[in-house]
Amino acid sequence: MSASTARNGVVRLAGPRLPAVSLLARLPAALCPTGTLLMVTALGGVARAGLVAGLLWAGQAVGGPPIGRLADRRGHRPVLLAASAANALLTAALVLAAVGRLPLPVQAGAALLTGVTVPQVGPLSRTRWIRLADRRPDGPALIGSALSFDAIMDETSFVLGPALAGILAWAVHPAAGLVCAAALMAVFGTLFALHPTTPVAAPRTARGHRLHSAPLALLFVLIAMQGAVFGATNTGVQDLTRGGGGIGGVVWSAMGVTSAGAGLLLASFAERFDLTVRLRTSMAAQALLCLTLLLVRGPVGAALSIAGIGFAVAPTLIALFGLAERTVPADRMGEAMTLLGSSMIAGQGLSVVLAGALAGRHGYPAAFAVTCTAAALALLLALALARPARYAPRRPAAQPAAGLPAQPAGDANSTVTPIG
């Protein structure tokens, strides 16, 4: 299957409107942290900005799992509609608090609540693609392609978000990025919630399956270590490029570009290899590529090194989310995906604290050493514990998923009429 064939097969599951809406609905989650940092730094100083942006990040990590669980129990539509409206309003409140130079506790509280109400479009989008693919006779192959496709949208949003925040802050106003995020969430978060592919609540008779297990716990740890790779690397880049007029954001975006490209290529042959093999291979490649950071002496070298690491990022994340799909009961998929996202955010936050402290004492190479350590530990855990027998496919192909109507049987190449 070529990359274009895989991409077209995924788009036919739901029509072309869903990917576009999904991308624009998840953009505020990528735009807000950088936008908050830029806005509060300009209006209140860097020390205040670090605290306010950190609380927004913490709120996103804490709020994700409850939103995912509610989406599984009540259906995605009402939960996403409420979260999108609340997040847009609270983002606007954060802007007013910063522009009005209100006391720090007010700004911090607004940031925390803004993070808590982020609608988790990325994790719930993955849940939606999985459920749509389950309706097809060629479901297992399409799930891999769909997760690759979704990873591309994630990486695209995390390249565009910080760049857009920086451009708007420079060209319009320090708060313009967050104003844009609030508008995007109000419009496209609502459209994502209302799209016809939105899963309904699982039947009561299908609820109550046990979520936590040893295989899933391993995935939580591995994705937290992946977050640590991101956080420590970004900290090192910002320390390396300090005083460079925002060049650190450009250097960091190199990872998103190559990761998106790797995700697109992976869609054409992902089904040929077992997910655990792909996970160990991509983590081994990432651990080796991270070592190049120890040789970095300037922004150009950092950009090249980070671009190289990016080639292993999407394959790693796609394998982790794919293994979670095999491990988690269908009626708790949304909760599991948001828990994985929160684990990654937690790993990022903890690594930023550690790498920042070490970089303050020993310079940016110490932050990059944290990156290499996290990547190596993740690889060792994957080699020791991520075995095929622990992650057997969860269900046969063509099994209708909860919350979606069954599709008539057909051959693997049958045409799917787009839903929206």
Q: What angle do CA 361, 223, 131 make, to 5 degrees?
A: 155
Give the domain extent around 254.
206-394
**Looking at the domain assignment, is residue 360 inside a domain?**
yes
6-25 burial, b if ≥16 CB within 10 A, otherwise e?
Answer: bbebbbbbbbebbbebbbbb
Do 90 and 114 contact (CB within 8 A), yes or no?
A: yes
State whether 168 and 44 are in the same domain: yes
State whether 195 and 223 are in the same domain: no
Domain boundary among 164, 181, 201: 201
Extract the tokens encoding 130: 């999985």
State whether 322 and 382 are in the same domain: yes
**Looking at the domain assignment, is residue 117 inside a domain?**
yes
pLDDT value of residue 267: 64
**Looking at the domain assignment, is residue 410 inside a domain?**
no
How many residues does the structure list for the chain?
A: 420
State whether 241 and 102 are in the same domain: no
271-294 burial, b if ≥16 CB within 10 A, otherwise e?
Answer: beeebbebbbbbbebbbbbbebbe
Cut 0.85: pTM above it: no
State whether 256 and 378 are in the same domain: yes
State whether 172 and 260 are in the same domain: no
State whether 141 and 276 are in the same domain: no
pLDDT value of residue 329: 80
State whether 165 and 283 are in the same domain: no
**Looking at the domain assignment, is residue 418 inside a domain?**
no
pLDDT value of residue 95: 96
End-to-end CA distance of the chain: 25
Extract the tokens encoding 294: 């120890």
State whether 189 and 213 are in the same domain: no
3-state helix, strand, coil in the chain (%, to 5): 80, 0, 20
How many whole angstroms separate alpha carbon 188 and alpha carbon 22?
8
State whether 43 and 170 are in the same domain: yes
Check which CATH number belongs to the domain holding 53 and give it: 1.20.1250.20
What residues contact 9, with CB distance under 8 A and at least 6 apart? 1, 142, 145
Domain boundary among 179, 201, 223: 201
pLDDT value of residue 7: 56
pLDDT value of residue 405: 41
State whether 137 and 257 are in the same domain: no
State whether 196 and 239 are in the same domain: no
**Looking at the domain assignment, is residue 291 inside a domain?**
yes
Extract the tokens encoding 105: 């506790």
Q: Tens place of pLDDT for every residue, the chain, 420 residues? A: 445 555 556 667 767 788 889 999 999 988 888 788 778 878 887 678 778 877 888 898 899 889 988 988 888 999 999 999 999 999 999 999 999 999 999 999 999 999 999 998 988 988 888 888 777 766 666 777 777 778 788 878 877 887 788 788 888 898 999 999 999 999 999 999 999 888 877 655 445 566 778 888 999 999 999 999 988 898 888 788 876 655 776 788 788 888 888 877 776 665 667 889 999 999 999 999 999 999 999 999 999 999 999 999 989 998 898 898 888 887 788 888 888 888 988 888 788 778 888 888 888 999 999 999 999 999 999 999 888 877 876 554 444 444 444 443 333 333 333 334
Do 420 and 197 contact (CB within 8 A), yes or no?
A: yes
**Looking at the domain assignment, is residue 420 inside a domain?**
no
Give the total number of structural domains in the chain. 2
Do 317 and 326 contact (CB within 8 A), yes or no?
A: no
pLDDT value of residue 194: 94
pLDDT value of residue 398: 41
Extract the tokens encoding 310: 């990016």
**Looking at the domain assignment, is residue 409 inside a domain?**
no
Domain boundary among 201, 218, 233: 201
CA 294, distance to chain mean position in Å, is 26
Do 402 and 203 contact (CB within 8 A), yes or no?
A: yes
Residue 171 DSSP class? H
How many whole angstroms separate alpha carbon 19 and alpha carbon 23?
6
